[in-house]
Structure 1
Amino acid sequence: MSSSPTPRNRKERRTASRGNQTSTSNQNDMDIPLRKPDYTSKPETKTLFQIAEERQELLRQGKPFPKSLSSSNSAPNSGDGPELDLISPLAEAILYTFTLTVLHLTLDALVNQQFKQKVDWGAIIPRTLLIAPLLFVLIYSLHTETALKVPLAREAVFFATAVVGGCYMIHVVNEEGYYAVMRRAPPVGTLWVWSVIEMHVGTAVGSLGVVGGWVWWMGLAMW
């Protein structure tokens, strides 16, 4: 026979039930081994802090993220589709094209205002729409994986474009008539701005220094 008395009413049954649950919980707690984690062991893969530090270092150097820095703990590609980068060359080209097209439209309108000409949107918009596909092809060709594999050549193209475009634009503004300025300044200025944006900071400053030196040597005015 059991040594515990039989509950005679509802209150005693509840008390007995709570006692049984407490003893079972204590028994389960005693089964769990209590020990401190091993803080001295090194993780088998890179931690999130290490990955973040490496990517910050690449950002400071102005380099894109290599695929080797992808977290090894991330799920592998299921094979249902290609591995996606943060932003594809096509998306970059579309974004740059839209932004530079708006810049070209703005420069075209400002040049007309500078010479006190009526802003003819019926002529400005077709010119802008004509240059948009040309910008897209040029931008996309320099953002493909093949172009990114030769960063020095890519940087040289941007440097040459910035120097030639900057010098030519300042020459046109100083030496040509207002009609030539209205037609040539917007597209050349757009290419100049884009080239400077695409370059690393040091190269961009160097290109501006070359343009400034040429302007000083030729005795031209920048404004």
Structure 2
Amino acid sequence: MKKITMLLLLLVFSGALIFAGGEKEAGGTGAAKAKVIGYYMDAADDYYKAGFQVFKALATEQGWKVLDVVGQGTAPEQLAAVENFITQRVDALVVVQNSPQTTSECIKKAKAANIAYFALTHNPPNEPGLTGFSGFDWVLDGKLAGQSAVKHGAKRLIIIEGKLGQGTAAGQTQGFLEAYKEAGKDIGSLLANVGVKGAGGADLKVVFWGSGGWFADPAKKA
């Protein structure tokens, strides 16, 4: 499934790059110019790594060069990597974001430099300059988990999200709570106040809500 998703993204990539920069070298030689892609991952995450490996393999088949940078989960690293890629005049950017706010700034910089910007995994801000996005239906993912919890009669909930504000985890939480609501359960105002201590209804209460930063040890501590 991941390879199919990446292949579709690569096809969109090809069209976007041809449209933006032209497929032929200047001078009328007819030789195709090898594209250079700047690829940023927010952290050394196995999921991100798997996506990168598939992308790089497919890009290599196209004769493209992929420059990759892996951050340690901080916004300044994403911004610095994007700025560095822009300075190197890459043909396109592929970014697994730290946060939508940081991505918004990065998209503006890429747009000003006329460089295509593609977001992966986490939902980016939908604004001018965003060329494409490849991810997953995180709300549905959470909803399936919620439906299972309803069947098992879960009423007291501890939510440890990946990284607060990143968008992905919030989508999963939203889907989880929607599953209860769609099942006719009383969840009070949880959809609007999931982080408020004691929020909930007769059928579901959130005992604790926090972040594990996508890592197991911090999640266990939380």
Q: Do the two structures share a fold, i.e. TM-score over 0.5?
A: no
Q: Relative to total residues, which structure has the larger strand share, 1 or 2?
A: 2
Q: Which has the higher helix share?
A: 1
Larger Rg: 1
- TM-score, normalising length: structure 1: 0.25
TM-score (norm 2): 0.25
